[in-house]
Structure 1
Amino acid sequence: MNDRTSQNDAGESSRPRLSGNAKGAIFMFLSGLGFTFYIVLSKELSREVHPVFLAFWRSFFACMISVPVILRVGLSKMKTRRPGLLLLRSMFGTLGFTLAIIAVSADFNLSFSQFNAISFSRSLFVTVLAALVLRETVGVHRWGAVGVGFIGVLIMVVPGIFMFWTPGTGEGFTFDLGTMTAIASAFFLAFAIVLVKSLSAELSAVALLTYANLLSSILLLPFAIYFWSDASMETWGWMLAMAGVGFVAQFCYISAVSVGDASFISPLDYLRLPMATVADLIMIGMLPSINVWIGAAIIIVSAAYITWRDRKKQAQVVTVLDKRPKT
């Protein structure tokens, strides 16, 4: 019996274990699937209830889901010395995800792939806001990448903007409200991300997630009452499912970043675009136009370059510190 147990233990120990990057890649893939299902459910549910009403219950249900998690890690993890900054972060985050729900709602014609492509501009806004708000030093290379990235956004928002010589191009210039709402969502979420950098030193990711859902529920409650919608039991069930999927997607994203190298994990987030394209094909039977692909490619390359420059700069700082004489 002992021999068999020893053999089993030896067999298990000889099995190759997944590296941190491999685990991170799995978590990021699951996160992409979760966010894709989340926006699909959001769009479908917005046909039955108001998007703001939906945003409130998304936060409230997610808050209820996070309560057992925070109780397990301990309420002491919720202590903060900067409640004002935490509230400000929650306000920007609430605006960001509420506008995201509105942007993909049935009230607009924004496709899932268009929304996801525009959402990638968050990293461009983060760079700009980090320089303005946190006073971070941004070199000419990153500023150049930000400029190129916003050109990609323009290509998606205004198809043909760089082809004035084509007859009739000007007639296609449209700034539809859904697209502008998606851009505003990316901006406010970027602002929330920048503020998280200041808060992550004293609060864990689980605590920040719990605070975000709790404060979002409080902030959205008056608007939910104003836009109250009569929902069937089936709709309530799907709203609960939407909140659960969104919570799991956020948890998988946080887990991916925590166990894997950011330079390896971050580009995998762009898998959401092909996932959203499949959702477009299944739900509405259409593929994104060429301007979406071109604009998304420019944004992704720019964002990837910014991430690479950030990691390179951090590596240089670590190298300099390591070379300092020890006292």
Structure 2
Amino acid sequence: MQNLIASSLKYENGSLSVLDQYLLPHQQVWHQCHDVGTMKELIISLKVRGAPLIGLSASLLVAYLAEQGVVKGELEKAINELEATRPTAVNLMHCMAALRRALTQSDYVAGIVTTAERLFIEDIELCERMASRGAELINSGDNILTHCNTGALATAGIGTALGVIYKAQQKHGNVHVWVDETRPLLQGGRLTAFELERWKIPYTLICDNMAASLMAAGKVDKIVVGADRIAANGDFANKVGTYNLAVLAHFHNIPFYVVAPITTLDTNTACGGDIEIEQRNPQEVRGVSGSFGEALWAPTNANVYNPAFDITPAKLVTGWVLDTGVYNQQQVLMGKLKELTQ
């Protein structure tokens, strides 16, 4: 397999490594990963995260195993086990489906390796197209609010929603970003802030519950977020807290855009109500942990509700920014998303 290098994933000289996103921004630690058990743990613990990156990481591991001579039956088992690690993000399922098709080829090793390489390179290209299309929606001097982390750490390229912001800053040079810290795991405070600093894009970190006051004060011009799965009717799943922003944007008449590659579309799912929402460990809400250590602030036995994602209804979305184009509510209502996958 050829060398493939991204911000948080690399296959280089026969070795697969991932950047530990749990430890960012204060520690930059790379983990070698050469077996299914290790990759499953990395994904479940969010050391590997971001819908596109999860699919690509799993794909490169399967390709590595194929090149190491792992037999067909074990490769199929590896694909099944990796696919089951995160139930909401559809990019992983698309990647594993592509590997299953490659597994049916007579030379399945070459087929799997070629497929994994294609998926990686394709993601870089998808990010560039999304970012360029989305940047056209951003005006000079805009204050943009975003949620979670949707940048280069989450993809093979420059990212989805954060990629749009990156391109807009390149174009205008004067955008400013409001960064939701994104409770409970602080992907905004830890990862998006880290990426914006690296890109030298001005930003201000806020607690999630401060967004409404900013909108009421007229300090938010646009909201751009990513997606983990988009249903046929335009409803989408994204990091929990996204729905809050969509409702607030609607009330304050602020444009609200979702940015995702076509690989995030799941037109076999009719609407958001049919998307399975992952429920995570209660300890993530009872306290916090990371490179800084651990803290527990709630009673040890406190009951916890901890969905990883929520569903934003299509009627709250101003536009869907995909690599294929920007689509409005009328187009989505007429079935445009379904057309794109036929």
TM-score class, shorter-chain normalisation, is under 0.3
Rg (Cα) greater in structure: 1
Structure 1 or 2: more helix by fraction: 1
Structure 1 or 2: more strand by fraction: 2
Q: Which has the higher contact order (CA 8 A, sep 6+)?
A: 1
